[in-house]
Amino acid sequence: MKKVYFIYFALLLTGVIQGIYYQPHMPEIMASRFDASGTPVSSMSKDRYVGLAIGSILFLTGMFLSFPLFIHKTPNRLINLPNKDYWLSPERRQNTLIYFLDKLDIMGIITIVFMLIAFELGYRANLVNPVHFKSGIMWTCFAIFMICIIIWTYRFCMHFTKIPSTQ
């Protein structure tokens, strides 16, 4: 079994444990959305918030884990890559899709970690009175997340932009 499955499972388990741990400590009505300064702007029941948190992590994990199930059956015309004819030619298609899925796992893990941090900050914001979200931490995490996505996208595109020369 691939190592990445254990990472996804660990992240999913972290989200479930996070929700189970915080649920009894949360007020019945939780602040669930905050403005840029960390002030609450909307709320929901704690059960709905915990369900949303766990459900989101479960959905993302399932989505990223399901890509290998259908990507190999996806017709080339539905796959958008630079130099698609070269990379998806019959003799290269399998290796291209393996590379694609390996890189997609990195994106999946980064995305789920970001969501776990966001929900953690939401839980912690509701533990203090008055409720206040640490937006500075969230903005920093968001900036790091976006930098990771930009680097990932650049490296991914550059890999497929270059066609190896045959010597």
Q: For the chain, which residues score pLDDT lower than 50?
A: 167
**pLDDT, position 167:** 47
DSSP class of 32: E
**pLDDT, position 1:** 55
**pLDDT, position 59:** 98
**pLDDT, position 162:** 86
**Inter-CA distances, 38 with 27, 33, 130, 133, Å:** 18, 9, 11, 4
Closest CA to 60 of 101, 12, 119: 12
49 neighbors 107 (Cβ within 8 angstroms)? no
**pLDDT, position 99:** 93
